[in-house]
Structure formats: structure tokens, C-alpha cells
Structure 1
Amino acid sequence: MADIAGWLALAATCIAALMTASNLGARVTGWGFVVFTLGAAAWIVVGIATQQTQLLWSNIFLGLVDLFGIWRWLGRRARFSDAAETEQAISRAQPGENLFAASTLDGMPVRGRDGDILAYAVDAMLACAGGELSHLVIREGGVGGVGETLRRLPWREVRARDGALLTTLDAAALSRLPALDPA
């Protein structure tokens, strides 16, 4: 029994770690915590069956943390996401400009005038006085964070449409934008 529970715990923990680390939205992260809870329960069985007190108590604690994660991501955060999606749907049903949730900017592709992906949005900078959007922080190049260049893309050069950010700039013009030094 301990052997089966150990393999189940291992699989659940690995799958849950991928689900939460992927940052694919509130629901995927929340379900990742559900899978983490199953893994913690299986590790508790292993701890009891093999008389490993540290394994038992660490996973009792982690199970409680996982329950907090479920509440936060499947309860609270999912409710926030649902509200933003409702606001987007309402805006699409009305004439005029469609709205999109600012929280969806992270990772959104920035497409150049030819339609090719030039960069990805990282964040948006808003003016404290007035609240208007000043510019996007974008990332280009590199692999997995290594060799990436962060740049400031003025919002006046961007339009949001169909899950992407569109700019009139081409790759050469984008490469001339100011690079940001995170240090």
C-alpha cells in the first residue's frame, strides 16, 4: 500500500507543480492545488505506513497550504477572472471599443505590421495622476529568460485586438526602442 501511495504521491506532486508553475490562469492554478492536495494525502499515507514522522507532519502542513491555495485560486481569483470576462463580454455586445482585462497582458504577443510576433508583453505602466496607460514593458529574444531584452513600447503605438497587441512598428523599429535595465 505504501508503494502504491508513494507512486501516486509522486505523480500528483509532479503534475500539480507543472499546473501551478505554468501560470495558465486562476482555474488551472486552482486545480493544481487540488492535485497537490491529493499528493499530500498520498504522502501522508506513505508517512503513516512507513512511520516517517517528518513526512507525515510536513504533508499535513502542506495539505493545509494547498487548501488555502484552492480557496485563493478556485474561489477568490476565479471570481475576479469571471467578473473581468463578464465585463469583456458586455463591452463586445455594445457598439464602440471592446474592453480587455489588464491582467491578460502578461505574455500577450505583440504583433508587428506584417502580423509576425515581435515580442511579448510583460507589464503595463500607468500614470499615477490621471491613470492613463503610458507604455508596455515588453520582452524580445532570448530563451526562457536568458538573453531577453526588455523594452519600453509606448501605448500610442499599440492597439489590442483578438488576444494580441498590434503595433505599426516593424522588427527594426522595435529594436530601436529604449532597452530597460532591470537592475
Structure 2
Amino acid sequence: MSDLAGWIAPVATMIAAIMTAANLGTRITGWGFIVFMIGSVAWSTVAIGTGQTNLLWTNGFLTIVNAIGIWRWLGREARHEDGREAATAHSAESTDVATLFGMGSIVGAPLTGRGGGRLGTIVDGMMRCDNRDLAYLVVSEGGMAGLGERLHALDPSAVHFSPAGARCDLTASDLQELAILEQGEWPAEIPKTRLDVRR
């Protein structure tokens, strides 16, 4: 039994790490914690079979942590996501109210441009405290997995939100002409000129 657990434990742990680190959504993250749970139980089985008390205590604690992760992502966060999607769907079907777009859906939303091509990804938004309007959206483009990416501040009035996502009338070259935000030093308002990128 411990021999089988010795194979299951590392495989489950590696798969779970990929699932949670990829940040592919509420439910995939939640299932990542389920796989983590399988791994921690398997490691505990190995610990019992080999008499490694420290390994047993460590994975006993991690089993509790994984249970909390499952509750959070497949319970609480999933219910919030379902509620947000339901409100969006109901508003899109109604003629009496404006179509809604969940604030939680903004971060990570792909931004499409003129012609339907993908321009980048919305990574954040800055809100004004005085009137609760969005000051600007932060859009990432270029690079790979965050390396070499360029961040731009985009006027929210130029973006149209719908249940299908976020779109604007810019082209890829238009977006690249916007000022580049300094990493870790975002401005108080939309820059009027291109900023130097801090190396």
C-alpha cells in the first residue's frame, strides 16, 4: 500500500501545484486543492508505512489546509461566481434593466479590438474614490507569462463590456502607442505621454 502511495503522492502534488498556480478559474483551482488533498493523504500513508512522524504531522496539517481550500474555491468562491454569472445572464435577457458585467470578471478578461482580434488582457482597474467611477483600466500586452509584458492605462469609456467580454475600437498598434506604465509605479491618472519603462 505504501509503495502505491509513494507513487501517487508526488504525482498528485505536482499536478495540483500546476492546477493552482495556473489560476485558470475558481473551479479548476478548487479541484487543484482536491488533488492536493489526495497527495497529502498519500504522503500520510507513506509516513505511516515508513514510520516518519514528521512527514505524517506535516501532511496532516496540509490536509486541513487543503480542506479549507476546497471549501473556499468550490464552495464560497464558486457560489459568488455563479451569482455573478446569473445576474449577468438575467440582465442580458431583460429589457427593463441595463446589461450587467461583474466586477470580478474584469481582472483577467481578454480585451478584443477592432476586427475582433485579441489585444491583451485586463489585469486591473483603478477607481476614483470621490465619484466611484473607474479612472482607468490596466491592460497587459506582449511578452509571455508576464515576462516582457507591457502595461498600458486605457480610458474605461473606450471599452464596451458585455456578457461576451470586453472590447474596444483600438488596433494592436493603437494600444502599443499608449504610454507604458512603470512596473510597480502606476500613475494617479491616465498618462498623456509615453512613460519610460523602469528597468
Work out whether the TM-score is over 0.5.
yes
Provide the secondary structure at the position in 2 that maps to 1:118: strand
How far apart, CA to CA, are the structure 2 residues paired with 1:72 and 1:11?
A: 24
Letter in 1 for 2:31: W
Deviations 1:72-111 (A, max 9, x none): 1112111211211121121112125421212122222212
TM-score by length of 1: 0.93
Q: Does 1:158 align with 2:159?
A: yes
Is the contact between residue 89 and residue 163 of structure 2 (CA under 8 Å) also seen in structure 1? Answer: no
Letter in 1 for 2:159: V
Q: Tell me which stretches of 4 or more aligned residues in structure 1 moved more than 2 Å.
A: 161-164
How far apart, CA to CA, are the structure 2 residues paired with 1:97 and 1:113?
A: 24
What pairs up with 1:47-66 in 2 under 5 angstroms?
A: 47-66=47-66
- Count of aligned pairs between the two proteins: 183
Q: What's 1:44 paired with?
A: 44
Q: Offset of 1:25 from its aligned partner?
A: 2.0
Q: Does 1:144 align with 2:139?
A: no
Provide the secondary structure at the position in 2 that maps to 1:151: strand
Q: Does 1:119 align with 2:120?
A: yes
Moved more, 12-21 or 35-44: 12-21
Q: What's 2:189 paired with?
A: none
Provide the secondary structure at the position in 2 that maps to 1:100: coil
Deviations 1:129-156 (A, max 9, x none): 2211222101010111111101101111
Q: 1:83 to 1:161 in 2, by over 3 A?
A: closer
Is the contact between residue 139 and residue 148 of structure 1 (CA under 8 Å) also seen in structure 2? Answer: yes
How far apart, CA to CA, are the structure 1 residues paired with 2:116 and 2:72?
A: 37
How far apart, CA to CA, are the structure 2 residues paired with 1:77 and 1:107?
A: 16
Gapped regions of structure 1 (runs ≥ 5): none
Is the contact between residue 92 and residue 163 of structure 2 (CA under 8 Å) also seen in structure 1? Answer: no
Q: C-alpha root-mean-square deviation of aligned residues, in Å? A: 1.5
Moved more, 91-100 or 30-39: 91-100
Letter in 2 for 1:140: E
Gapped regions of structure 2 (runs ≥ 5): 185-199
How far apart, CA to CA, are the structure 1 residues paired with 2:58 and 2:85?
A: 38
Q: Offset of 1:15 from its aligned partner?
A: 1.8
How far apart, CA to CA, are the structure 2 residues paired with 1:85 and 1:165?
A: 15
Q: Offset of 1:162 from its aligned partner?
A: 4.9
Q: What's 2:105 paired with?
A: 104
Q: Kindly, what percent of the aligned residue pairs are identical? A: 45
